[in-house]
């Protein structure tokens, strides 16, 4: 449950902070002050004072994390957050890593939890992670999608995505939740 809350928090932060971050690129590179204070402990030459500084700053970081004022994430959890947000139109922020480098192409591989036709030839597919995708083209599939089928979704042009279900020809889709 905590993991979903963190993913939601990251997504909300990305949406709320994007206008402010777009104004000043230097803001995206700033470290949290509480972390900067911890790093500054290295400059203290007296070992006893340095240890005391580290102890105090680590305790402050621990307290901030417990109060959800500071969110710590490793590369694996950031990748999982990106996976959870895959298909949504969100700004490209440094919180997902890659420091301005070319973004790696991402392909989502999941299992279908349920599938139904909202109208003839327009499939709505619910994935095992709760994501809901709708078909936006008129491509007919040889075999209807079923629970447990594997689906591979990759980025296409103009904000849409291609989905291959059990190796069939790709259909164009869009995420709706």
Higher pLDDT, 25 or 164: 164
Tell me what percent of the residues of the chain surpass a pLDDT of 90.
32
Q: What is the pLDDT of residues 119-175, one digit of tens each?
A: 888 999 999 988 899 999 988 889 999 999 999 998 887 778 899 999 899 999 988
Does some domain include residue 100?
A: no
Mean pLDDT, residues 85-110 taken together: 60
Domain boundary among 28, 62, 94: 94
Domain enclosing residue 148, as ranges = 107-175
Q: Distance of alpha carbon 139 from its chain centroid, rounded?
A: 29
Taking the alpha carbons of 89, 93, 95, 98 in that order, is the dihedral positive or negative?
positive
**For residue 93, what pLDDT is reported?**
54
Does some domain include residue 63?
A: yes
pTM score of the predicted model: 0.50
Query: pLDDT band at residue 27, thresholds of 50, 70 and 90?
Result: very low
Q: Are residues 70 and 125 in the same domain?
A: no
| Cα-based angle 13, 17, 18 (whole degrees, multiple of 5) | 115
Q: What is the pLDDT of residues 29-80, one digit of tens each?
A: 578 888 888 899 999 999 999 999 999 999 998 888 898 888 777 777 776 7
Whether 91 shows a pLDDT value over 60: the answer reads no
Domain boundary among 60, 94, 128: 94
Q: Are residues 81 and 123 in the same domain?
A: no
Q: Are residues 67 and 132 in the same domain?
A: no
- CB-side exposure of 152: number of CA atoms within 13 Å? 8
């Amino acid at each position: 449950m905590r993991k979903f809350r963190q993913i939601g928090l990251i997504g909300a932060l990305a949406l709320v902070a994007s206008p402010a971050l777009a104004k000043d690129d230097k803001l995206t590179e700033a470290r949290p002050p509480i972390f900067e204070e911890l790093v500054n402990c290295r400059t203290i030459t007296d070992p006893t004072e340095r240890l005391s500084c580290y102890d105090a700053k680590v305790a402050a970081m621990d307290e901030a994390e417990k109060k959800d004022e500071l969110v710590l994430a490793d590369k694996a959890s950031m990748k999982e957050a990106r996976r959870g947000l895959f298909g949504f139109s969100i700004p490209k922020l440094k919180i997902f890593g890659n420091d301005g480098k070319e973004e790696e192409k991402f392909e989502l591989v999941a299992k279908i939890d349920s599938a139904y036709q909202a109208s003839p030839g327009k499939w709505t597919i619910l994935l095992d992670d709760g994501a809901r995708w709708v078909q936006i083209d008129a491509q007919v599939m040889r075999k209807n999608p079923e629970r447990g089928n594997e689906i591979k979704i990759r980025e296409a042009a103009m904000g849409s995505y291609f989905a291959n279900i059990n190796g069939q020809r790709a259909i164009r889709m869009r995420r709706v939740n």
